[in-house]
Amino acid sequence: MSSPAGTGSLSEGPLVRDFDRSEPATLQPYTRTAIALHWIVGLAVLGMIGLGVWMINLPKGAGPFRAEMYNLHKSIGMTLGLIIFARVAWRLVHPAPPLPATMPRWQVLASHFTHYALYACIVIQPVTGFLGSLCSPYPIKYFGYTLPFGSWDVPAAKEFLSVVHLANASTLAVLVLVHIGAVLHHLLVARDGVFQRMWFGARD
Ligand code: HEM
């Protein structure tokens, strides 16, 4: 049962607003800031997954180059982590625009589940990478500058955090594939304007 607009009911809360629906013709776009953060973080995360998988497969005999690639991965990862925190903070105070009223309920729920899981994974990834690196025997270098945290050298914690970092990267990759599948469905099958509202040209 829905409440009339302007009554101050629960249906106007920021979390519940996500579940509201709009007609396709009146679909509200995301803001420029949300669109920029979405694409910067999305592409950078994909690049970091590629860099991570490539670098751990470099032969140990690759010498300083291998260590340089690890340091590059850590440096970009920490920068990206800060951007991700900014993105999550932005999203917490800027609810997503409503989904089309034509979308089946199960797709709305699947969409929310995937989005929140993606947010969780992109937060867990840099946090476990950073904490795992702190627990390694080496101090962390940020683009050549040694961070003042030292190296905690806790092998058991390092091992655990590496496993979580790897498992979370795999989960993230699967979620990205599901996300891209859903985007293609909206763009090519449903043609409901959901993709276009996260594309450039939307206004604040
Ligand atoms: C969104 C950001 C990040 C993504 C998507 C990412 C992704 C990955 C991937 C796919 C791997 C290879 C698979 C594996 O985990 O073994 C990896 C490895 C690694 N990453 Fe990241 N990473 C991120 C952030 C970071 C950060 C911030 C650090 C450290 C400051 C870091 C440190 C490492 C290290 C040391 C490894 C080698 C495996 C290990 O010892 O855990 N990563 N990363």
E strand or H helix that includes residue 21: strand 21-22
- Give the residue ranges of the chain where pLDDT is below 50: 1-20, 204
Q: How far is the CA of 108 from the centre of ligand 1 (A)?
A: 32
Position 90 scores a pLDDT of 94
- CATH hierarchy code of domain 29-198: 1.20.950
Position 27 scores a pLDDT of 80
- Asked whether 78 lines ligand 1 (CB < 6 A), one says yes
- Asked whether 53 lines ligand 1 (CB < 6 A), one says yes
Distance between CA 101 and CA 186 in Å, rounded? 13
Contact 124, 171 (CB under 8 A): no
Task: Find the length of the chain.
Answer: 204
Position 13 scores a pLDDT of 36
Position 9 scores a pLDDT of 33
Position 26 scores a pLDDT of 63
Tokens of 156: 């058991």
Tokens of 171: 């989960």
- Asked whether 72 lines ligand 1 (CB < 6 A), one says no
Q: How far is the CA of 48 from the centre of ligand 1 (A)?
A: 8
- Asked whether 100 lines ligand 1 (CB < 6 A), one says no
- Asked whether 118 lines ligand 1 (CB < 6 A), one says no
How is the chain split into domains, by residue range? Answer: 29-198
- Asked whether 42 lines ligand 1 (CB < 6 A), one says no
Q: How far is the CA of 180 from the centre of ligand 1 (A)?
A: 22
